[in-house]
Amino acid sequence: MVRNSESLAQITSDCLELSSTLHPDILREDIGYRLDLHWRQHRTQHGVLPSILRTFSQDDILNIPNIRQQGQVILDKQQPSLLEAVHETTTRLTFMEKWTDNLLNFINGVILGGSLSYGRFVNVRGAYPRGSDLDIILLTRNIPHTININRLLPTPLGFSLNDQSIFHTRLDEFNRMRRKKTAQMISHKFLLPQQGFDISMHFMDQDIFHQLCHPTDIEHSPRYFLDFKSAKFPHQTMNQKDTHGDPFPFSVNEHEVINGFIARTQICGFSNGNFVPGIYHNLMAPMFELFYGDTDCQNQIECFRL
Share above pLDDT 70 across residues of the chain, in percent, rounded to a whole number: 96
Q: Quick one: pLDDT at residue 218?
A: 55
Q: What is the pTM of this model?
A: 0.92
Residue 273 pLDDT grade (very low, low, confident, very high; cuts 50, 70, 90): confident
Question: What backbone torsions phi and psi does residue 252 show, to the nearest 5 degrees?
Answer: -115, 120
Q: Quick one: pLDDT at residue 129?
A: 86
Asked if residue 3 has pLDDT above 80, the reply is: no
Share above pLDDT 90 across residues of the chain, in percent, rounded to a whole number: 63
Asked if residue 16 has pLDDT above 80, the reply is: yes
Mean pLDDT of the 6-35 span: 94
- Give the tens place of pLDDT for each residue, 122-178: 999 998 888 999 999 999 988 888 899 999 999 999 999 999 999 999 999 999 999
- Give the tens place of pLDDT for each residue, 198-235: 999 999 998 889 888 888 755 555 678 999 999 999 88
Mean pLDDT of the 294-300 span: 87
Q: Alpha-carbon distance 206 to 141, whole Å?
A: 6
Q: Alpha-carbon distance 103 to 106, whole Å?
A: 8
Asked if residue 289 has pLDDT above 60, the reply is: yes
Q: Which amino acid is at 18?
A: L
What DSSP state is assigned to residue 218? -
In the three-class reduction of DSSP (H, G, I as helix; E, B as strand; rest coil), residue 45 is classed as coil
Pairing of strands 107-113, 134-140: antiparallel
Mean pLDDT of the 270-285 span: 87
Q: Alpha-carbon distance 230 to 42, whole Å?
A: 36
Pairing of strands 224-229, 185-192: parallel
Mean pLDDT of the 238-254 span: 90
Q: How far out from the chain centre does Cα 100 lie?
A: 14
Q: Quick one: pLDDT at residue 22?
A: 93
Q: Alpha-carbon distance 68 to 206, whole Å?
A: 42
Share the mean pLDDT of the chain: 90
Ranges of each domain in the chain: 1-102, 104-306
Asked if residue 2 has pLDDT above 70, the reply is: no
Asked if residue 1 has pLDDT above 60, the reply is: no
